[in-house]
Amino acid sequence: MSNFAELNGAQREAVEATEGPVLVLAGAGAGKTKTITYRILNLIKKGVAPENILAVTFTNKAAKEMGERVLKLLENERGYASDMATSGARRPFVATFHTLGAHIIRENYMEAGVKKHFSIYDREDSKRAVKEALQKNGYDPKQFEPGKILAIISREKGNFVSSSEYVERASGDYFGNIVAKVWQDYEIILKKENALDFDDLLLVAAKLLQNESVRKFYGEKWKYIHIDEYQDTNKVQYKIVEAITRDHQNICAVGDVDQNIYTWRNASIKNILNFEKDYKNAKLVVLEENYRSTKTILEVANKIIEKNKLRMERKLTTKNAVGEKVSLFEALTENHEAQFVVEKVKELQKSGADLSEIAVLYRANFQSRVLEEEFLVKNIPYQVLGTRFFDRKEIKDILAFLRFCLNPESISDLKRIINVPPRGIGKITLLKIVEGKEKELPAGMKIKIDAFRNLLRKIKNFAITNPPSKTIFFIAKEVGLNENLEKTDEGIERIENIKELSALAKKYD
């Protein structure tokens, strides 16, 4: 195994343990991603077909990075890299849980009760539909906030609970009955618009895997499973993993019992703590060497985390330098805290540090306000990392155009795009379109609607015959997004975002 010389002893042990259940406990900076990628490499070198390997991560960024690392490791391996580069079908399936769920549903869309080109609701789409369901049941959305109702529905779906199961459990509970009624009508709206929400991607996939033939198909398809950040899995994710691995038990779960950041969506630390009970004869490998931090930082971290009584005993070590001392400042108020932070930044700047090398972390977004005010007062330039890429307006607009062209039943997407850019089609006109009462509209409005339909038809025809990356540019040009964005202050940045979306889409060309 000459290619694995850069692995330490524990990493190598995990890489070589290819058969049966393996639990890798890896602290921060201990090289868990490296361990997973080398393990995938080892499996392929042993003769396992790349397409029989599955690796699941929690973020798109992590999935992209892991996939790229695997391809890079295989570059010097005869035939592997070129074969995998030209054929997606010959690659390991590296994806997030939600991408995995969507993949399973699309391959079994009839059994799932959806059409092949279903839309995926984002949070704003879901809130709009929940609000509509509240109003249909005679409830005031101002009294019963759609966001809170949606959070309850999301929590229940994460616990592997369907709307029908929740109805039975909520019987006799006043607020539970309201949620049950709204949830049922929310499901009707989803069905009508041929859509699933983000949580459905997991719940529907998990329910599909309860079907023995579906379960066996994916168990045979993915014979070697890797799960990153296993401590952050919830019940429905656990169900998906258990179903796929039930027959062969070839699972490598990698996680850190000292981290658990997704409790807000019902992540259960018990999944990793009970791994050795769930999978008999599991091999335990502990990665304790940290490559990222100084000795001082690790000493402080070890002292704090050792007070956690639920953890599995281990201690991070490092060969790195001792490093500077860790300081603690106890502020009297949030303003006092902000003043201290900004003064520290000024000191670092005076000592020669570049502002781009300094980061200020805070627990919640609302805490940025007082910091921003202080930076402005002290005339120190700063940058807030804000809206996520796929939440940006121009990105959501383009994707909505593309989705609606493929799935014209998606009312949510229609509402978003019908006035992008503005075409003077109001809410009453939209309602008449949805209700099939276009004949009642004035002639001038019919001309606008016909022009809009022709645009959609043009986009659909282009999308069917061209790769996604070109389709994105085509939509931006035909719709007039670029022309409109050039007139705004943020135009250049937003056009760059569209270019980035096209670049991301190239992997699906």
Q: Which helix (DSSP H) or strand (DSSP E) does residue 56 occupy?
A: strand 53-57
Give the 3-state DSSP-derived string for 259-298, with helices as H, strands as E and coil as C: CCCCHHHCCCCHHHHCHHHHCCCCEEEEECECCCCCHHHH
Q: Where in the chain is the domain with CATH 3.40.50.300?
A: 2-101+206-304, 329-377
Confidence of residue 310 (pLDDT cuts 50, 70, 90): low
Sequence-separated (6 or more) residues with CB below 8 Å from residue 276: 23, 282, 284
**Does 50 sit behind a cis peptide bond, omega within 30 degrees of 0 on the bond before it?**
no
Residue-wise pLDDT for 19-49, tens only, equals 999 999 988 888 888 999 999 999 999 999 9
Q: What is the distance between the alpha carbons of residues 299 and 322, in angstroms, rounded to a whole number? A: 10
**Of 164, 105, 153, residue with least CA distance to 127:** 153
Topology adopted by domain 119-193: Arc Repressor Mutant, subunit A (1.10.10)
Residue 478: the pLDDT is 94
447: left (phi over 0), alpha (psi -120 to 50) or beta: alpha
Q: What is the distance between the alpha carbons of residues 40 and 57, in angstroms, rounded to a whole number? A: 14
Mean pLDDT, all residues of the chain: 89
Write the DSSP assignment of 375-388 as a string of letters: HHHTT-------S-
Contact of 57 with 309, CB cutoff 8 Å: no
Confidence of residue 252 (pLDDT cuts 50, 70, 90): very high
Mean pLDDT, rounded, for 134-149: 90
Percentage of the chain with pLDDT > 90?
55
Is residue 84 predicted with pLDDT exceeding 70?
Answer: no
Percentage of the chain with pLDDT > 70?
94
Is residue 292 predicted with pLDDT exceeding 50?
Answer: yes
Q: Where in the chain is the domain with CATH 1.10.10?
A: 119-193
Residue 257: the pLDDT is 75
Q: What is the CATH number of domain 2-101+206-304?
A: 3.40.50.300
Q: Which CATH superfamily is domain 395-508 in?
A: PCRA; domain 4 (1.10.486.10)
Q: Where in the chain is the domain with CATH 1.10.486.10?
A: 395-508
As assigned by CATH, the class of the 329-377 domain is alpha beta
Residue 261: the pLDDT is 67
Residue 264: the pLDDT is 66
